[in-house]
Structure 1
Amino acid sequence: MMACFYIIGFFRSCVSEYCISAWGLHYLEHITQMLNQIEIRCGEIFNTISNNISSVPFRHLNLTTSAKMSRAKILSYRQQYCNGDSLTVRVDMFNYLGQRKTYGGDFLTARIYSTDLGAAASGRVEDFNNGSYNIHFILSWVGNVKISVILYHPSEGVSALWRARNAGYKNIIFTGNFLYKTQEIEKVCGFYLESQQEKCVYADKRDGEFFYCIKPPNVPCEALISMRSKIHHHSYLTKSEKTIFTKSNIGVEIPRDPGSIAVTNCQRNFTDMKPTCRIGMPVPYPSGYFLNNLWHSNFCNLSSFEPLSQINECLTGKLIYLMGDSTLRQWIEYFQKHMKSLKFFNLPGHGIHKRYLALDMDRNIYIQWKKHGHPFVSPGIYSVKDCAYIAREIDGLPGSPNTIIVITLGQHFRGFPLRLFIRRLLSVRKAIERIFQRSPETKIFIKVENSREINTDVERISDFHGYIQYLLFKDLFKRLNVGIIDAWEMTQAFASYNLHPPETVTRNQINMFLSYIC
């Protein structure tokens, strides 16, 4: 069960009543009961999320929220603010006809920043569900502070995206490569295949994970060796709904009055007694801010200089397993770039998505990056023989005080129904609980996904999908003894708008990570 795929030979070949023994019946009943429990839990979580998302029908573009017609103003405006003050910005929404909106559900992002100071922070959005919003900021540095409020999608767009995302699996096409003797054959694969042809079923029955490929004639299913994917030019959005997502309507700034404020050091007599950063601490929002391009935590005493300066000593004797997508691969690339004695071991594999292994023989440091299991979306070919679902990867580790696991999931799931992501998070959570039973001192971190480019391919990669996944990740893991690296908030504050954030952001993610373990 440690491989990326497990063939359900029983379900494919046992078609007669004589094939099903008493043990087989009991086993099938157990599996069925377990899968039913998973689906019930997935359904409960999905329904909770769905009930909190806008369900506004689209009638005409002119009736949707217009960023340019809407207004943002500072509540209780003053000529001068003090470092440490709270700031609230009121946003009132109007449609393209200048009519006030009477319902909420718009997808807004907000930040304050001072470019010259390398300073920035995100804002917390409060939706009153009547067309008005309050955005709450903490003023954490001295100087001129600019305010930015962006309407990413109107509520009508949010409703359309939510319905479209959960309509099916046709956004991405997978192609599997089978190698058998001298034959090399490509076949369509995916989470759901409408074809009536014989299929290979690759499954993790325990966690309810199923993936399929059309079976090549006279070729065993085990012959599948690699995979690639491409965007399917298919849409679950209606033609009229697509008008909401033209480039000029995505990520538009809302006019502000005023657009900036002055913050001074009022020399208040208070001492900021934040505790030392510890794994398991609850992470508020906003959880921190940039100043001089260094991330400062709002909830724990993060030294912005010490952890990175002691990185070699901090990681000595550690076994570090990075499990996820290419935004976490950036970590191992950063480690190797800045730890001179850390060397990559050249492993075989396909392209940049192969397993990465870095070793420091003098300090006994082991760092590995492996991609997560399906779905892994890439036009480049990647091996399916060297990967596994994260839950299985965790199950394969004994754990120890020197074992560190960092997990990230999200970007590759955006183009698929949310139930798939919910199911995966539940299986990862259970695997974490199991390793804590074996080794409570194992250190586990969740690096939530980051924001990315503003792109018109909203059905597959919109940050709205990422934001829902971000909230879900934080909620499902908040009661576990894990460390949270809030990459979403960092990239929102930094306004990187890049699938692979710049090194400044990666450096601060790693600095936060080191502050927990050094």
Structure 2
Amino acid sequence: MLLQSTLRFNYIWKSMTLDYRLGRVSLFLLACFLTSACLVFWRLPTVRRFHPPSPKPARPKNASIISAQDMGITQEEWDRLRKACDWPGPDGEITRLDQSTSPVHTTFSVEGLNDTYKVGDTIRVTITARDHNNTVKSYGGDFFRAKLLNLTLKAGVYGEVVDHSNGTYTVDFLLPWEGQAQVDVFLIISSEGVHVLNKYFESKPHIRYHGYFEGPGADGVKIVEKVECNVKWGSAHAHWSKANCCCEYKDVQTGSVWQCERPRNLSCDYWVYHEHGEHQFPATPFERQLFSRKLTNVGIAAEKHIITVLPNASGIGEPERCRPGLTTPVPAGFYFQDVWKSFVCNTRRFNSQQRTSCLSNKILHFLGDSTTRQYFEFLERNVPGLKRMNLYTHHKNGPLMAVELKNNIIMHWRTHGFPLRFPKMPASDLHYISTEMDYITGGRETVVVFTFSAHMTLHPLTLYIHRVAKIREAVLRLLKRSPETTVIIKSGNTGLTAMEYGNEWYTRQLNTVMREMFSDIDNVIYMDVWQMTSCHYTHVNIHPGNVIISNEIDMILSFVCPS
């Protein structure tokens, strides 16, 4: 190789003396040769392959500057979440209200209605969406709620709406009880309304919060200053980007940052109270019309077909024992005589004595929002001897604690951290769920139930993913140090219908994210109450009635005490 290099050098040198014009080219070739030779001898032991740069995913319109790394997840997981949350809709902006879906002109019908059916059969319902001109829609994206009911039997079952992206939708209903039933369909939000919600997904938060600073003034008189506060996340804090604008409070464990406008006369150390503030949905006047009471949460009129269901000798098979790692089918169960018959697992009915026996020597931690506080309040009322301790906190804001000394039952409830739409309360009482979990020892006697969605419906989806990623890390740490801990994730409820507080469609998206992000952790229980709160015959409410809460508690206890 060295001999070849020497001969090649002599040849180049001779060429340089022949022609001046070729000389400049030869000098260039000589430099390239010498450089290559040096590199060959210098780098011979470590040959590197060339790897072309990975293509960057196309950024959708109105995309956030937040990356998968910022959210604490991988790019592959972010792609999977976006695919799971993908929702069809109009190809472009809708400029006329009459182009939107009309609940008056939209219809549904039962396909091939028979005179009778048997328990375990299914029926198919077709929904045809039309605009205000009575024209069938050419695209999908409408958000419907569908259920099968029998008010006399206090029975109901959920139906999953399948979007065919052409203005038609189908719902397959299982017929799980003997007797009669009829279909009930509601248009929750039109596809045009969903399009608007998607448009503002990653914009600034749709709500303001207040912070109260209290401290001594120059003359010793107490000063109280009320300022605006909000989460610091991506472009959501752009209007506070000026220098030295804010007091920032960073949670070391999660990296989450809460910020408040800097008070005039007090330092940031005097922040004492947190309070919800005003809503600020950033829609245009035209877009707001899409969320009027006449167009959202409206029942779809149809001919009331009575479906007659006869008994079936084979019936419906019994589900398996309640345990972690079970998936949620559709339907997940049904109500009959106000009792939830689960298809997920064999849920038990617990009376007061059985609840006490199940919870004996247990420590319960309910974390989240007011829907888990309903669990605390139900057990407080229905477990004999369980008494609330006076922690000198607000009875709704918490934190709360109750004990039953005879059977050694301890129960806690604490709301999740910022952002939170609660009345004025000490900021120090707001702990992030992930941070709180790190202070739970865990073990066979420990039950942790948490939920996290209702207060996030006015904030970016990427922020929610970041918080869930931190909760997932904390759950894994808890189960690593205490594998026998019972961890139950409660999904969000239906019934969040007022646009100024969020909406049911967005809650469904958040449920999808939570379910996907915990799908590969087998020893966690995902309790999907979406169907339980959707198909009951009573009016849907973000705070379900006592009969629904009772059935949810029975499901929780069935996982804690399966036999």
Report TM bin, short chain. 0.7 to 0.9
The correspondence of residues 131-170 of structure 1 with structure 2, limited to 5 A, is 131-169=167-205
Q: Does 1:210 align with 2:268?
A: no
8 Å contact 1:71–1:255 — kept in the other structure? yes
Helix, strand or coil for the counterpart of 1:108? strand
Q: Does 1:124 align with 2:169?
A: no
Distance 2:196 2:153 in 1: 39
Q: Does 1:239 align with 2:285?
A: yes
**Larger deviation: 137-146 or 364-373?**
137-146
Helix, strand or coil for the counterpart of 2:285? coil
8 Å contact 1:74–1:90 — kept in the other structure? yes
1:213-240 superposed Cα distances (whole Å, 9 cap, x missing partner): 12235644332221111223x3321222
1:87-141 superposed Cα distances (whole Å, 9 cap, x missing partner): 2111122211121111111101100111111111110111111111110111111
Q: CA deviation at 1:406?
A: 0.3
* 1:301–1:47 Cα change, 3 Å: closer
Helix, strand or coil for the counterpart of 1:362? coil
* 1:46–1:269 Cα change, 3 Å: closer
Amino acid of the residue matched to residue 65 of structure 1? T
The correspondence of residues 329-348 of structure 1 with structure 2, limited to 5 A, is 329-348=373-392
Helix, strand or coil for the counterpart of 1:247? coil
1:311 to 355, 362, 367: 355
Distance 1:475 1:34 in 2: 15
- TM-score (norm. length: structure 2): 0.81
Helix, strand or coil for the counterpart of 1:284? coil
1:430-463 superposed Cα distances (whole Å, 9 cap, x missing partner): 11111111111110001111122543xx254221
Helix, strand or coil for the counterpart of 2:508? helix
**Larger deviation: 413-422 or 49-58?**
49-58
8 Å contact 1:38–1:207 — kept in the other structure? no
8 Å contact 1:67–1:253 — kept in the other structure? yes
Q: CA deviation at 1:44?
A: 3.8
8 Å contact 1:349–1:383 — kept in the other structure? no
Q: Does 1:256 align with 2:297?
A: no
**Larger deviation: 354-363 or 308-317?**
308-317
- Counterpart of 1:17 in structure 2 is none
Q: Does 1:285 align with 2:360?
A: no
Helix, strand or coil for the counterpart of 1:94? coil
Q: Does 1:300 align with 2:345?
A: yes
Distance 1:308 1:80 in 2: 41
Distance 1:515 1:255 in 2: 39
Amino acid of the residue matched to residue 489 of structure 1? Q
Distance 2:507 2:67 in 1: 31
Amino acid of the residue matched to residue 287 of structure 2? E
- Counterpart of 2:426 in structure 1 is 383
Distance 1:453 1:497 in 2: 9
- Counterpart of 1:435 in structure 2 is 478
Q: CA deviation at 1:47?
A: 3.7
- Counterpart of 1:269 in structure 2 is 314
Amino acid of the residue matched to residue 178 of structure 1? F
Distance 2:73 2:357 in 1: 45
Amino acid of the residue matched to residue 528 of structure 2? D
1:361 to 405, 409, 432: 405
The correspondence of residues 67-106 of structure 1 with structure 2, limited to 5 A, is 67-106=103-142
- Counterpart of 1:12 in structure 2 is none
Distance 2:436 2:80 in 1: 25
- Counterpart of 2:38 in structure 1 is none
1:19-78 superposed Cα distances (whole Å, 9 cap, x missing partner): xxxxxxxxxxxxx99964627658546643564342542121111112221221112321
Q: Which structure 2 residue ranges, 5 or more long, are not aligned?
A: 1-65, 217-221
8 Å contact 1:165–1:459 — kept in the other structure? no
2:277 to 230, 240, 246: 230
- Counterpart of 1:109 in structure 2 is 145
The correspondence of residues 6-21 of structure 1 with structure 2, limited to 5 A, is none
Q: Does 1:477 align with 2:518?
A: yes
2:89 to 45, 49, 54: 54
- Counterpart of 2:226 in structure 1 is 186
Helix, strand or coil for the counterpart of 2:392? coil
**Larger deviation: 155-164 or 316-325?**
155-164
The correspondence of residues 358-507 of structure 1 with structure 2, limited to 5 A, is 358-378=402-422, 380-452=423-495, 454-455=497-498, 458=499, 460-480=501-521, 481-494=523-536, 495-507=538-550
- Counterpart of 2:59 in structure 1 is none
* 1:333–1:111 Cα change, 3 Å: same
- TM-score (norm. length: structure 1): 0.87
Q: CA deviation at 1:506?
A: 0.7
Q: CA deviation at 1:208?
A: 3.7
Q: Which structure 1 residue ranges, 5 or more long, are not aligned?
A: 1-31
- Counterpart of 2:247 in structure 1 is 200
Distance 1:331 1:50 in 2: 29
Aligned residues: 480
Amino acid of the residue matched to residue 159 of structure 2? G
Distance 1:338 1:37 in 2: 41
Q: CA deviation at 1:485?
A: 2.5
- Counterpart of 1:38 in structure 2 is 72
Distance 2:68 2:228 in 1: 29
Helix, strand or coil for the counterpart of 1:68? coil
Amino acid of the residue matched to residue 225 of structure 1? V
Helix, strand or coil for the counterpart of 1:295? strand
Higher strand share: 1
Helix, strand or coil for the counterpart of 1:65? coil
Distance 1:216 1:421 in 2: 28
Amino acid of the residue matched to residue 421 of structure 2? V
Q: CA deviation at 1:185?
A: 2.3
8 Å contact 2:366–2:450 — kept in the other structure? yes
State, as a whole percentage, how many aligned pairs show the same letter.
27
Larger Rg: 2
- Counterpart of 2:14 in structure 1 is none
Alpha-carbon RMSD across the aligned residues, in angstroms, is: 2.3
Distance 2:315 2:310 in 1: 16
8 Å contact 2:453–2:507 — kept in the other structure? yes
